[in-house]
Structure 1
Amino acid sequence: MGDYRRKSGDASCSHGGDYLGSGAHPCHAGNLRATTFRRFLVACRGRPIGCDFDNRDLGAPCDAGSQRGELRATSASSANGAGDHTAIGCDRDSVLASGACIAPLPSRIAKIGYQASNRPTWVRVLTVKMLILHWGTRGGGPQLQEYIGKALRTNRGLELAISYDETSETAGSLRQLHVPALIVGRIRARGRMRHAARLLSQPWDAYRLWRFCRINDIDVIFEVMDHPLQVLPKIIARLAGVRVLGSVHDAVRHAGEKSRILDILSRASIRSSDGILTYSSTVATEVAAQALIPAAKVHQTVHGAFGVPGTPRTRKSDADDFVVGFFGRVERYKGLSRLLEAVRILQTDGAAVTVRIDGRGALSPSERELAALVHAEHVQRWIPECEIQSVVSGYDVLALPYDEASQSGVIGYALSAGVPIVSTPVGGLAEQVDQAKAGLVAESMSSEDFASALGTMRTEEVLYENFSRSAITSARTTFSWDRVASDVVRAAESLLTGSTKSSS
């Protein structure tokens, strides 16, 4: 809720207030619920104001009437009578000096005052209380929760809370945020027994989430990545009046990952959200096409750059081995055979190229044969989050030979490390590479065109170094977590105000 500090005035005011003047009743909005009043403040921030206090449709932006940034209580039944003014979005000094509200405040601080003898009557500091939710333990979800949480922690006007699994690989970093936290998964069992216990604890976890949101007055739950264990608790919290901003990373499951049960849960997760945030325009289009949620409620941001941005790199000499790296789980849809065949083509032409595969998963028989032919190194293990940037930094180029894709988190590590990228022209991969200006997109899906792109990256020194510089710059700007956090806040505000798309 807002931050109210009483100075003086009518103690009967139903919602409190920070009273700086005298002689006027501060309850301008009558008996409006505080949550509705908060939506009204968010909607009116930084806009021309001309709304009637008796207008109960406060979800719509107040953009009619006065162009001076002031709100007029035009109804004779309003708390202060017809013709009185309430200043919106002004600091106290400008109201005292001018008697009119014409300068909107920065960020999301809304100060409101009744003008009696050019003096504001009360001031309200607007905040939105957001809970960042993810109950997965490894992979992209916990990393997103950590990076977005750190960026939102410093956001002015936002009060942050967090909910995570005790065994999350980023639990230590999340504890360092020092915000209210709901920790789940405090179960001693391991493996399948732990999964079963977590499933059985769903009703209790749902109750705990509902109670946590009620005690901490949470306005919006932001689900950084969907997870089967979050569906029921999220539905319960939403039924209790909390807005839910969900996330969709893959609108369509990849080949080899299809599951009817998971598809049902994913659709239920989307339907039980008030809005959806996607991390590429490709996924945003796919989600809108599924018609599980109105297209106007589908928001978009970018997948931020993991790791710490470093310094640009120079290309190796032709005599040195050019290391082509592949990072991530080995899956059928990731097109490893295309990469291995492309490297074979380059080696046949006499290029000093080696390939390294870092990630769990077994190669297919044909892939093993090609890997042996090109002397590929396969490090088959789970690589924890703390090691990923150093592994990716060991590549000269990051290869993404995927058959299909939404967007890739490993691109973020490559951007921070200044490692240029070569990808196939699929899904959100081409979108990420083009936005960052940090690599080449192959002309087609053929191994020959992928080999051509790798060869260009190896031989064109100026091009390589330009891509490396652009990667570092993008990690600090276009793909920064501050940018992602701003998009999240705008999307969350839209859930409270009822406005349409707010992120880009």
Structure 2
Amino acid sequence: MKVLVWQWSRLGGPPRFGVLLARALAAQPNVSAALSLSRRAQLPPEMMAESELLVDTYRTVPGFIGRVLRAPLDLPRLLPRVRAIGPDVAVCAQPGPLDLLMATALRRLGIPFVVLVHDAELHPGDGMPLQMPLQRALCRGADAVGALTGHVAAALQAQGLAGTAGRPLIRVSHPPLAFDMPQRADRAPGPRRLLCFGRLLAYKGLDLLQEALLAVGPRDDLVVRVVGTGPETPVLDALRALPNVTVENRWVPEGEVGDLLGWSDALVLPYREASQSGVAAAALAAGRKVIATQVGGLVEQLGGRPGALLCEPEAESLAEAIRTLLAQPPDFTPPADASAAWNEMAATLVQQLVPVIRGRHAPTLADLSPSARAP
């Protein structure tokens, strides 16, 4: 089985997700994988070098509109490049606005494809214009649609996009995301370092964090960093006014994520809604404790994990979780085995790709016996 993984986002966790998925698929018996990334993806050079098919995407909304208008010209150039890779099946590793171009090429070539969905609905303030209509059109054209949590799976089924006779639902999990972190000796005495990292948007519950820190009160044993990018709001100003709290409203480059995780003792996810969390996945791989609200897919992702403290999406419940953290010894949790988790996820995905291929091709192409095509 040869799998083409494509992920055409530039920023954030999805490009890394695509690289790690392709690596894990390639490690499966009798499976080979090819990778297609955006030429503008913010990834380390060694990850970019793994892409067999780099594509030009966009940086701005006008750039996106221009790429859409150019699609009829881009398709003839994309077709031979995909044909040369020769995949049996393709996997969209979290969709973006330009993925219908690849879907059209795959349809022309008779190659089935699967879409792994991160968000079934846009969170307030997230996304590009028309992103959800484009995502749903992509899913309606797919041979199967996958979800990383039961929360998202239920939403996709309610939308009629997955779990139908012609479009089965694929279930996999979101493995831990490992970043290169600085070497750190045993923790020196000092205040507990709590990190809130990610998009600084309303649904991330920054108001809950501000109210919870007020309830906790000034403490010499706690420092908090709120780091990410978003609009300036009164909530950010209120957080800045709290003692021992700093707010850094800026984009965090890929190469700095490991340093942020290395600084922290624990991460706080005070979200009001969530599908799942790449930040939580990074915290698990880094061996950091996590305080998170019980919303969306976070319960499924973090429930039962060592070092995870789950609370209600209410300020007092969040404050109590912070107090509980401060009462615990200032140690780290064992890092999750990210490599093993990715291999397990890829094995589960491969099992569910077999019937997708059989539905489009002769069964022998999907057969995972030793006679099948190997890497």
Higher mean C-alpha deviation, range 142-151 or range 196-205: 196-205
Alpha-carbon distance change, 435 to 249 in structure 1, aligned in 2, over 3 angstroms: farther
Does structure 1 residue 275 correspond to structure 2 residue 144?
A: yes
Structure 2 length-normalised TM: 0.86
Q: How far is the alpha carbon of 1:249 from its aligned partner?
A: 0.5
- Listed as ranges, the matches of 1:397-416 within 5 Å are 397-416=266-285
Q: Which residue of 285, 289, 302 corresponds with 1:433?
A: 302
Q: Which residue of 474, 478, 484 corresponds with 2:345?
A: 484
Does structure 1 residue 360 correspond to structure 2 residue 225?
A: no
Aligned residue in 2 for 1:446: 314
Aligned residue in 2 for 1:303: 174
2-structure distance, mates of 1:131, 1:307: 23
Does structure 1 residue 215 correspond to structure 2 residue 84?
A: yes
Aligned residue in 2 for 1:245: 114
Alpha-carbon distance change, 441 to 309 in structure 1, aligned in 2, over 3 angstroms: farther
- Listed as ranges, the matches of 1:454-473 within 5 Å are 454-461=322-329, 465=331, 468-469=333-334, 472-473=335-336
- Listed as ranges, the matches of 1:198-209 within 5 Å are 198-209=67-78
Alpha-carbon distance change, 406 to 356 in structure 1, aligned in 2, over 3 angstroms: same
Does structure 1 residue 166 correspond to structure 2 residue 39?
A: yes
Q: 3-state SS of the aligned residue for 1:337?
A: helix
Q: How far is the alpha carbon of 1:346 from its aligned partner?
A: 1.7
1-structure distance, mates of 2:191, 2:322: 13
Structure 2: give runs of 5+ residues left out of the alignment: 361-375
Structure 1: give runs of 5+ residues left out of the alignment: 1-127, 500-504
Alpha-carbon distance change, 295 to 388 in structure 1, aligned in 2, over 3 angstroms: farther
Does structure 1 residue 424 correspond to structure 2 residue 293?
A: yes
Q: 3-state SS of the aligned residue for 1:223?
A: strand
Alpha-carbon distance change, 260 to 213 in structure 1, aligned in 2, over 3 angstroms: closer
Aligned residue in 2 for 1:142: 15
Aligned residue in 2 for 1:73: none
- Listed as ranges, the matches of 1:257-272 within 5 Å are 257=126, 261-272=130-141
Q: How far is the alpha carbon of 1:358 from its aligned partner?
A: 1.1
Give the aligned CA root-mean-square deviation in angstroms: 2.8
Q: How far is the alpha carbon of 1:376 from its aligned partner?
A: 1.8
Judge conservation of contact 1:339–1:401 (CA < 8 Å) in 2: yes
Judge conservation of contact 1:148–1:485 (CA < 8 Å) in 2: yes
Q: Which is higher, the Rg of structure 1 or of structure 2?
A: 1
Aligned residue in 2 for 1:497: 358
2-structure distance, mates of 1:192, 1:283: 27
Aligned residue in 2 for 1:155: 28
Higher mean C-alpha deviation, range 272-281 or range 403-412: 272-281
Judge conservation of contact 1:436–1:474 (CA < 8 Å) in 2: no
2-structure distance, mates of 1:437, 1:254: 28
Query: Structure 1 vs Structure 2: percent identity of aligned residues?
Result: 29
1-structure distance, mates of 2:57, 2:232: 36
2-structure distance, mates of 1:284, 1:192: 29
Instruction: Number of aligned residue pairs: give it.
Output: 357
Judge conservation of contact 1:152–1:158 (CA < 8 Å) in 2: yes
Report the AA paired with residue 382 of structure 1: W
Q: How far is the alpha carbon of 1:199 from its aligned partner?
A: 2.6
Does structure 1 residue 347 correspond to structure 2 residue 208?
A: no
Judge conservation of contact 2:23–2:33 (CA < 8 Å) in 1: no
Aligned residue in 2 for 1:41: none
Q: How far is the alpha carbon of 1:193 from its aligned partner?
A: 6.0
Alpha-carbon distance change, 131 to 424 in structure 1, aligned in 2, over 3 angstroms: same
Aligned residue in 2 for 1:376: 245
Q: How far is the alpha carbon of 1:378 from its aligned partner?
A: 1.4
Q: How far is the alpha carbon of 1:428 from its aligned partner?
A: 0.9
2-structure distance, mates of 1:453, 1:494: 45
Alpha-carbon distance change, 303 to 456 in structure 1, aligned in 2, over 3 angstroms: same
1-structure distance, mates of 2:161, 2:281: 29
Report the AA paired with residue 299 of structure 1: I
Q: Deviations over 1:388-431 (max 9, x none)?
A: 12202211210000000010001122112211000011011121
Report the AA paired with residue 323 of structure 1: R
Judge conservation of contact 2:145–2:161 (CA < 8 Å) in 1: no
2-structure distance, mates of 1:245, 1:309: 30
Structure with more contact order per residue of length (Cα contacts < 8 Å, sep ≥ 6): 2
Report the AA paired with residue 324 of structure 1: L
Report the AA paired with residue 10 of structure 2: T
Aligned residue in 1 for 2:56: 185
Judge conservation of contact 1:398–1:419 (CA < 8 Å) in 2: yes
Aligned residue in 2 for 1:327: 197
Q: 3-state SS of the aligned residue for 1:373?
A: coil
